[in-house]
Amino acid sequence: MHPVTALLPLALLTLVGCGSDYPEVVVVNELDESVLVRDVSFNGCKWDVVLAFGEATSPQSCLSGDDRVHFQRLVAVEPDPSDSIAVDGEPVWFNYQTSSLKRVNDGSFSRFVLTPDDLEQDFSVPGPYGH
């Protein structure tokens, strides 16, 4: 085979390889009507949205493999003056993740639903450090 004829299909393969076949993921908030969700992330993806009950993220291409869905949640109820959790009147978002590991593969489309029975606190959030 002439080397040029060998390199041409390789060049085509390069172009094809540039196209992503990463798995696509959507996350839906079905925790509770009083619960807001934000900073949703999963295996390399991050959605900068606040999801009310029943709302979903847009599809994003994530890495293949296993991860939990990580997010911050806020229970949107009338503030209780005796509640010591509220700091300076600001709502406090807590870090949560799904209890179950989710697996996605190349080329797949996955729709993950956040439900109250698949929920635990997330202590794996990196601390504030820089530079």
Partner 1 sequence: MRRALALCFFAVVALSATGVQAQEAGEENPDQETSPVQRESDPEAPQAAPVDVVIVGKRRARPLDTSTVTDLEGEGIRESTRPSTFEAIAQETPGLFVTSRGVGFHGVASGSSGGLHLRGLGGSPNTQILVVEDGVPDYQGLFGHPIPDAYSPFLIDRVRVLRGGDSVLYGTNALGGVILIDNRRRDQPGWELQNDLAYGSFNTMREQVAALARDGDWDATGAFSALRSDGHRVGAGGMNSVTHLSARWHAMPATRLTLTHKRFHGTGADPGPVTHPTPDHWYDVERSNTSLQLVMLRKGVLVRAVQYANLGTHRLYDGFLSNDRTAGAYAQAELDVEDRVRMLVGVAGDSVGGTVENRVTMAKENVHGLTNVAGYAQVTWQPVNVLELMAGGRTVLSTEYGAVPLYKAGVRAEPWHKVVLQSRVSRSFRQPTLRERYLPYPTANPDLRPEYATTWDGGVTVESGRLRVEAVAFTTRATDLIRYFGAFPTAEVVNIDTYDVWGLEGSVALAEVGPLSARLNGSWQDVGRYTKQNPSQQVGFAVAAKHGAGHGELVEEVSGAWVGGLYQNNYARDPIDDVFFVDAAIRWLRALPERGLTFEPYLLARNVFDFQYAYIEGYRMPGFNMLGGLKVTM
Contacting residues toward partner 1, per CB under 8 A: 1-4, 6-7, 9-11, 13-14, 16-18, 21, 41, 43-46, 60, 62-65, 67-68, 70, 106-107, 124-131
3-class secondary structure, 45: strand
Q: Which is nearer to partner 1, 1 or 77 (CB)?
A: 1
Q: Which is nearer to partner 1, 81 or 131 (CB)?
A: 131
Nearest-approach distance from CB 53 to partner 1, in angstroms = 24
CA distance 95 to 92: 10
Nearest-approach distance from CB 50 to partner 1, in angstroms = 16
Nearest-approach distance from CB 19 to partner 1, in angstroms = 9
Cα distances (Å, whole numbers) of residue 27 to 20, 38, 61, 124: 20, 11, 12, 20
Cα distances (Å, whole numbers) of residue 48 to 6, 20, 51, 56, 114: 45, 22, 10, 12, 17
Q: Which is nearer to partner 1, 70 or 73 (CB)?
A: 70
Nearest-approach distance from CB 125 to partner 1, in angstroms = 6
Structure tokens at 121: 């606190």
Q: How many CB atoms lie within 10 A of CB 39?
A: 16
Structure tokens at 53: 């009950």
Q: Which is nearer to partner 1, 44 or 59 (CB)?
A: 44
